[in-house]
Amino acid sequence: MILILSANKDFTTNEVIKWLHIFDKKYIRVHEFELFEIKVIDKKILLESQRNSFYIDDINSVWFRRGGIKFNRLQFQNESVNKIMDETQFCLEDYVIKKLESKRHINKQSNNRTNKLLILEKAVAVGLDVPTYFLADNTDHINLGKTITKSISENIMVKSAFDDFDGILYTSIIDKHEDEVFFPTFFQEKIEKEFEIRCFYLNGKVWSCAIFSQNDEQTKIDNRIYNYGKPNRNVRYTLPPEIHHKICILMTELDYNCGSIDFIKSIDGKFYFLEVNPVGQFLGISDICNYALEKEIADYL
């Protein structure tokens, strides 16, 4: 039995599930708001929510897509009882999660938060080229037009930022100096790029797509700004073996066995690592490059 931890509305999960039916693989899908109770029946641990009920021993593989297993934690009247019971419940929950993660899996619930800063340090350590970066609360040492800023948080959506639109924190070029001090901000050297590369990594295998966004002013800095009239060119691409090798080391160090990885190929021919996202979207490159990644995932589970 496959355990899929995802969101009820996740389109990608639906696409993978369609393939699981083709492969005749059984699965249990857990939604984001589902709360589980840990029960014991005949010495076996049973997880039970309003929608699902299963023994953890019956799970053979786990896909951590979104959300994760959440537990209904009980409160107790007596403060010190509550403290002990809180710890007791944590122990059980932690045991369940670690047990599930010890099975065949795609990513881990206990390791789902990325830290862009730590990842960049690790990327440097494994020998990948990383554009020079630093944190600052002023623009004193910023080379205008040659420095970008981006969010270090995973979540980049800002609800109702504009009168009738939400906002999003894409990568931007710093084009003017600021007089006032601001909250510590991530800055990075802007690389003159030949093209961008979006990779999908699964257990040592890498599928890559070159994105030619350079021809288009609108998408030059951040290819996620979509140009409806003239979409970027996306081409199947193979990374040089040494870059592939370093990606594998980096992913192993980060303890991710699946994720999306972004690179820039600079005009001087270097491959600059930008970031890793373990829960990134991959259907885009799967469709455009006809990689059938949803089938690969279903096959792996």
Partner 1 sequence: MRYFNLFSSVLLTKGASRILISDLERNVSELQSLDLYNLTEDLKLNSIEDVIKEYDRDSGEIINEYIAFLLENEYGFISHNNWDNSFNQLSFNYDSSDVISNLFLELDNFSVLHKIRSAMDTIDIRYLVIYSIRQLSKEELGELDFIFENTPLEGIEIYCPYYDQINDAFLSYLSDTSKRIYKLVLYNCDTITFSTNENLKFSLEYTKDYITIKNCGIVDLKYFNTNNSKIFESKNYNSCLFKKIGIDIDGNIKNCPLMPDHFGNIRNTSLEKVLEMAGFKKYWNLTKDHIEICKDCEFRYICTDCRAFTEKTHQNKEGLDTSKPLKCGYDPYTGEWSEWSTNPLKEKAMRYYDFKIKQ
Partner 2 sequence: MENRIRSEEKNKLPLNFKYLNKLGSKKSKELNKKICYVKCDKFQTDFLTRVTPFKAFTRML
With CB under 8 A as the contact rule, the residue among 81, 230, 242, 267 that binds partner 1 is: 230
Question: How big is the chain by its Cα radius of gyration, in Å?
Answer: 22
78 CB neighbour count, 10 Å cutoff: 9
Contact residues: partner 2, CB under 8 A = 8-9, 11, 13-14, 17-18, 21, 27-29, 137, 139, 149-151, 157-158, 161-163, 165-170, 172, 174, 178, 181-186, 225, 228
- According to the binding rule CB under 8 A, does residue 235 interact with partner 1? yes
Using the contact rule CB under 8 A, the part of the chain among 4-12, 77-85, 275-283, 287-295 near partner 1 is 287-295
Identity of the residue, 91 or 181, whose beta carbon is nearer to partner 2 in the bound complex: 181
**Least separation in angstroms between CB 183 and partner 2:** 4
Supply φ then ψ for residue 41, to 5 degrees: -125, 125
Q: Among partner 1, partner 2, none, what binds residue 174 when CB lies within 5 to 8 Å by partner kind? A: partner 2
Q: Which two tokens stand for residue 17?
A: 């599930």
Judge residue 222's burial from the number of C-beta atoms within 10 Å of its C-beta, 0-12 exposed, 13-18 middle, 19 or more buried.
middle
3-class SS at 264?
strand
Identity of the residue, 236 or 245, whose beta carbon is nearer to partner 1 in the bound complex: 236
Residues touching partner 1: how many (CB under 8 A)? 23
With CB under 8 A as the contact rule, the residue among 68, 86, 112, 231 that binds partner 1 is: 231
Residue holding tokens 């890498």?
A: 206
- According to the binding rule CB under 8 A, does residue 294 interact with partner 1? yes
User: How many Å apart are CA 6 and CA 21, to the nearest integer?
Assistant: 17
User: How many Å apart are CA 210 and CA 49, to the nearest integer?
Assistant: 43
The amino acid at 122 = K
**Least separation in angstroms between CB 213 and partner 1:** 12
- According to the binding rule CB under 8 A, does residue 220 interact with partner 1? no
Q: Which two tokens stand for residue 135?
A: 């944190």
**Least separation in angstroms between CB 263 and partner 1:** 13
Supply φ then ψ for residue 48, to 5 degrees: -135, 130
- Is residue 228 within 8 A of residue 109, CB to CB? The reply is no
> Interface with partner 1 by CB under 8 A: which residues?
15, 18-19, 21-22, 210, 212, 215, 230-231, 233-238, 287-290, 292, 294-295
